[in-house]
Structures are given as C-alpha cells and as structure tokens.
Amino acid sequence: MEKNGFGIAAVSYDSHETLRDFARQHGIRFPLLSDRESTVIRSFGILNANIAPMLRAHGVPHPVQYLVAPDGLVIRKYFVPNYQHRVTASAVAFREFGAVSEGAATVTLRSGALTLTMGLSAERAFAGQEIGFFARFTLETGWHVYGTPVPDGYTATSVIFDGTAIARQSFELPAATPARMDFLKDFVPVYTGTFQGIGSLLLRFPLDEGTTVLSGMVRFQQCSDSVCEPPETIPFELPLTLAPFMDATRKKS
C-alpha cells in the first residue's frame, strides 16, 4: 500500500502501551491508534452494540476497512460479515493497483494457442483472511476463447478453486467482445489477444498452519476462424504459506 502512495493506520480500543508491545512483538511499523473510549469508533458509526457493558469486548468496532482518498472521501470499504474473517492489505492493494507481494508464486500453463499465467496476491496469509488472485490469458493471433453468455455446445472461460481451503470465491473477467460467428449466424462474446481476470478467495477458518497449495481448474475452449478445439479443463496449483493462528489462549504470558 505504501509503495502505491497510501498511508496505513489501524484503530482499536487498546491502550497505547498495549499497542506498543504488540507492534514490537510483531514488527509492525505503521501507526496503531488507540481509541480508549471508542469515540472515533462511534463517530464512524461502527461500534459493536451487541456486547454488554460488563464484557471485556465492550467498545470494539465492527471490523471495517476503508480505502480513503486524500480529500477524505471513501473510495471503497471492506467488510466480511464474520468477525473472524478479514480482507488482507495485500488483497486491497491487489484489487486497487494489481500489486502482488514479492515472493508470491505464479504458475504458467500452456495449451495450444493459449498461455495462462496465474498468481496469488500474497505468499502468506492467515486462515479466515481474503486474498486476491489474477489469471492472465494470452492467445495467439487468429484464436479466441469464449465469454458469457456462451452459445449451447460451447464452453465459457472460467477459473474455479477447489473448496477444501476456500470458503468463498469470486472471479471476474473483463467484458467480452461480441464477434460475428458466420457458422452460428449470431454474435458471440469472445476474448482475443491478452486479457486478465481478477478474483478473491476467502480462506476457511481454521486451517492448519504451514505450506499448502490452493488447487483448482481452469476451463475454456479455444477456437480459430476455421477450427474449434474440444473444451479443456486444466488443473493448476498455487503455493501459499498459512501463518500460525494467533490466539489469546495460546499467547505467551
């Protein structure tokens, strides 16, 4: 985020001493702000009103993240309606600027006239976080694949991750270009040249820490003006390190 000219700050109701210890323990260099009386949390209208005054968590916010323009207007906000789930800063940077963490793996697949490079927005994440991914397709001249809606008998281009480690996923391609297909006597949405889709992956919670692979399938059908290949389903794998879960019950005393 900083490389892209954005400041980062995080607000909680902890004391600045608690935040100082936390920042030292985890090597955090961006500002952690102390909102002891939850005044700023209230002024944003995000106080969690479900927590009774006698509970320790009284005063916490709903965990919202805002991307704010220099004039103070909200560009976008991120909220996952499960307090254990968060969107990672890498997913925000990825969605907004296409920024990928150094060290994040990419994988390149080739089939016929199509080359596909895929990558995750981060090489490391916590269970329950949301990360981003991209899929960049390049087709040789004269070839196309299909967008949606696809005519009967043809296969649209899609990327689907295996759900073992992923609770929710999305993938968006740019709008496909309608192309006149003489043999269908109709216009069909197609992709040619180089195009890129981006998606998000909400990791399940909990997951075992350590190295894992996120696997999935890409489906497409490549055709030229004269030839249509059969639909293809190609598996892929992207490595991801799952960071150890930080839990109050396991915290060092």
CA distances, 24 to each of 12, 20, 60, 234, 242 (Å):
16, 6, 22, 45, 22
Instruction: Identify which range of 45-53, 131-139, 191-199, 215-223 contacts another protein by CB under 8 A.
Output: 45-53
Asked if 126 contacts 243 with a C-beta cutoff of 8 angstroms, the reply is yes
Q: Strand 86-87 and strand 129-139: pairing? A: parallel
Gyration radius of the chain's alpha carbons: 22
Contacts of residues 81-89 at CB distance under 8 Å and 24 or more positions apart, as own/partner, are 82/128, 84/128, 84/205, 85/128, 85/129, 85/130, 85/202, 85/205, 86/126, 86/128, 86/129, 86/130, 87/129, 87/130, 88/121, 88/122, 88/125, 88/126, 88/129, 88/130, 88/131, 89/1, 89/8
CB of 44 to another protein, least distance (A): 4
Nearer to another protein, 63 or 147 (CB): 63
Comparing CB distances to another protein, the nearer of 53 and 230 is 53
Under rule CB under 8 A, residue 62 binds another protein? yes
> Judged by CB under 8 A, does residue 245 bind another protein?
no
Min separation Cβ 209 and another protein, Å: 17
* Nearer of residues 75 and 184 to another protein, judged by Cβ: 75
Give the shortest CB-98-to-another protein separation in angstroms: 14
- What is the closest distance, in whole angstroms, from the C-beta atom of residue 222 to another protein in the complex? 38
User: Which residue, 126 or 220, is less far from another protein as judged by CB?
Assistant: 126
x/- string (CB under 8 A) for another protein, residues 69-98?
A: xxxxxxxxx-x-xxxx-x--x--x------
Residue type, 218: V
Of 125, 117, 83, the closest CA to residue 98 belongs to 117
Indicate the residue among 40 and 109 with the shorter CB distance to another protein.
Answer: 40
Q: How far is the CB of 100 from another protein (least distance, A)?
A: 17
Task: Report yes or no: 173 and 194 within 8 Å, Cβ to Cβ.
Answer: no
Smallest distance, Å, CB 49 to another protein?
A: 7
Residues at the interface with another protein (CB under 8 A): 1-2, 4-14, 16, 18-20, 22-23, 28, 31-35, 40-41, 43-46, 48-52, 54-57, 60-77, 79, 81-84, 86, 89, 92, 247-249
